[in-house]
Amino acid sequence: MSKLDPRLNEAEELDLVKTSIDCIYPLPPSGLPVSKKGKEESFDKTLEAESMSERESLTTLLIVENFLLENMEPSSNNITDFPTECVILAKLVPRCTDPNIRVRQMAMDCVQCTLRIASKIAGNSMDQPDQMIDALCTLKERLEKDDPNVLFSVINDLAKGTLRSVRTLSSHHLTNVLKALLSYPLPYDSNIVAIWQILSQDAMLTSGFTDQMLDMLSRQLPYEEKKDGERTTKIATQTPLAVTCALKIIFDVEESEEVVKKNYHRFFSSLLIRIGSSIDCKPPKPVVEEKESKPKEKKKSVPPPSSKVPVPSLAAVEAFRSFLQRSKSEDIIEGLDKEDCWEMFEDEERYPESVTILCRYLVESAVGGPYISKIVTSLASGLSSLYDPQRVTVAAFFSELINLKCAGNDDMIEMVMNSLLGRLVDSSHMVRMLCIRGLGNVASNEKQQVQQYSTTVLSAMMAGMDDKEDPEDLITTESMSGLSKILSEIDESHIRAILINVSLRIRPCFEKDRPAVRAQAFILFGNLSRFGDGPSKAPFLEQIHSNFVSLLLHLNDPEQEVKKACKFSLRLLGPLLESEAINNKFQKYLLEDANLIYGEFMNDLAKCIIQDFPDKVNFYVMGCISFYKSMWSEIKCNAALFTGYLLGNLQHDKQVAISKEHVCAALIILLKDQSPSVRAAAAEAMSLLYEY
């Protein structure tokens, strides 16, 4: 600026220089001020004050300890223990890695003095050398250096020593150490994981820890329910989740294998129930300690902002898998991998199926198979749990165990059967359904056992079909499936008294919304044919005629499984109809995987019906008309066409027995149906009535 025009005089140049100098901030003698958000290193009076305070405290402690060491006489004062030794050492050890050299040295002196006091109280002479205590002098010399490499080596030794000290502490205060470890926030950081790992290397400690941890899993609440209006959310509780995560770490340690195999049945049952308890549970909120407002007080550790509490269901599944790996149950793991079971364990709807698969592979397992009896005993108490998922888990396992003949153990079959019978009045419809399934599976056992439980099982199945709190008909379906199984194994005398009652009970199920219910109903009715040629022949034949129209119409059901069920049933019922022509058609055309040309088949069948059952034609026609109000368009079409085939093939002299006006009025109503296919079928049926 001094070279620019107009030229500045001396006074103006002096003002310019002075102004520039005044704008420069001087460097303070104590260095740059510390910025709260900056990264500059500087002298901090607060840190120095803390260091001074620590030195003063350590000096005081060292003076007191030296005085005690020199003057106390444990024998004369009846001093037999040093109860505060652990607390003092716990406070001193972290200071051995303090950034301040003097603090490190004094902390080591205090540790050494504390150990000498404990040794003296234990009855050892002061002159008696102690290799471990004397070795601390070497550590103290190494602590005098500020070389990072030297400090790192010391810290490494201290870390190993600290872990060993925790292990030693655990041998004396197992419960307190366990509670402290489980109180740390999840997921565990590397330090806590290291502690769990070193504890797991000691078989006695591992056994003691796991005993208490399994007890916690069985006694503590697995989750809490919070209602938000009509919606209920399950929140996993902290301690069981912490135990689950800790068990995973323990199982990953090779030295834990002996304890795992010794308590195989306990781990298996507890973790299986834990998986069931964790499904659809949200993780608990992370434990975040409030920051203290006082600057001198240290802030408590908090989990990193990026860390997330483990998902309860995933944590349980991972712990279970680690358990199977550590116990060398490779055959079970391979089976579960093959069936994609690991994902099913976390799905609420598919979970019972996954338990069924697990049970099957457990029974076949060379490692887990011998523990079946103990596992059943451990699981039995779960059927009395207050929590639905736990009862569902045990019921699913027991129901499949019955199907697998309880690995050939007759006493176990009786125990499991009694357990399932006791939960038939459970508040959970899923538990009731699984109990019904298990009772039905008794059919897969020996003939003697089937006969022994037949009356009880039949009563349970009949009660299941009448279950009023079965919104999705799951219990009804399972009851009919169980009846089908048991009917193939029992004698006619066991079913004679209830044969017709069963037929009447299942009739409403032919028209249920769910395809599985309809299919099971038709299959069960077909299986009843086994008893239709004895003393109950006449009344059962009447039931066949009553349900004949429904069976024929559902041969062309919208669902494939219902079509197959009707084919199966008609093939079994055909011989009881006393019509060789009709039976031949059923056996020839109603093959399970055969493609049935429904229209042609029904037209030919109508001719056989007219020939062999002329007095039933009007009854069948009225039955068809009742299906004109069906919820399925396909069934309406089938009913209209069957009506047309029956009346169109009927001889003129037999037409007088038919309610023509009623039939025509019903068909005319069908012509107004919303479905084009129904209107077309009604029109086709009316075209066959040209002689009326």
Q: Where in the chain are the domains?
A: 50-172
For the segment 485-494, what is each residue's pLDDT rounded down to a tens digit?
Answer: 998 888 888 8
Q: What average pLDDT score do residues 650-664 get?
A: 84
- What Rg, from alpha-carbon coordinates, does the chain have? 41
pLDDT of residue 261: 95
pLDDT value at 691 more than 70: yes
Cα–Cα dist 581/292, whole Å: 93
How many other β-carbons are positioned within 10 Å of the β-carbon of residue 10? 7
Nearest one of 348, 437, 449 to 401, comparing CA atoms: 437
Cα–Cα dist 567/589, whole Å: 9
Amino acid at 60: T
Copy the structure tokens of residue 21.
Answer: 């100098």
Cα–Cα dist 550/205, whole Å: 68
pLDDT of residue 303: 46
pLDDT of residue 328: 95
pLDDT of residue 335: 94
pLDDT of residue 135: 77
- 226 DSSP 8-state letter: E
Structure-model confidence comparison of residues 377 and 60, the more confident one: 377
For the segment 380-414, what is each residue's pLDDT rounded down to a tens digit?
Answer: 999 999 999 999 999 999 999 999 999 888 889 99
Tell me the pairing of strands 223-228 and 231-236.
antiparallel
Categorize the per-residue pLDDT at 290 as very low, low, confident or very high, splitting at 50, 70 and 90: very low
- For the beta sheet containing 231-236, the strands, ordered from the edge strand earlier in sequence to the opposite edge, are 223-228, 231-236, 281-282
pLDDT value at 26 more than 60: no
Query: Which residues, including other chains, have CB under 8 Å from residue 678's CB and lie 6 or more apart?
Result: 633, 636, 637, 640, 670
Nearest one of 139, 143, 133 to 99, comparing CA atoms: 143
Categorize the per-residue pLDDT at 40 as very low, low, confident or very high, splitting at 50, 70 and 90: very low
- 113-118: which pairs have CB atoms within 8 A and are 24 or more residues apart? 113/62, 113/65, 113/66, 113/69, 114/65, 114/85, 114/88, 114/89, 116/69, 117/65, 117/68, 117/69, 117/72, 117/82, 117/85, 118/82, 118/85
pLDDT of residue 291: 42
pLDDT of residue 56: 81
Categorize the per-residue pLDDT at 18 as very low, low, confident or very high, splitting at 50, 70 and 90: confident
Cα–Cα dist 274/292, whole Å: 37
Compute CA distances 507 → 380, 465, 553, 672, whole Å. 37, 11, 14, 29
Cα–Cα dist 407/370, whole Å: 9
Amino acid at 155: I
For the segment 305-354, what is each residue's pLDDT rounded down to a tens digit?
Answer: 446 789 999 999 999 999 999 999 999 999 999 999 999 999 999 999 99
For the segment 87-115, what is each residue's pLDDT rounded down to a tens digit?
Answer: 888 888 888 878 788 888 888 888 888 88
pLDDT of residue 295: 42
Categorize the per-residue pLDDT at 62 as very low, low, confident or very high, splitting at 50, 70 and 90: confident
pLDDT of residue 50: 66
pLDDT value at 289 more than 70: no
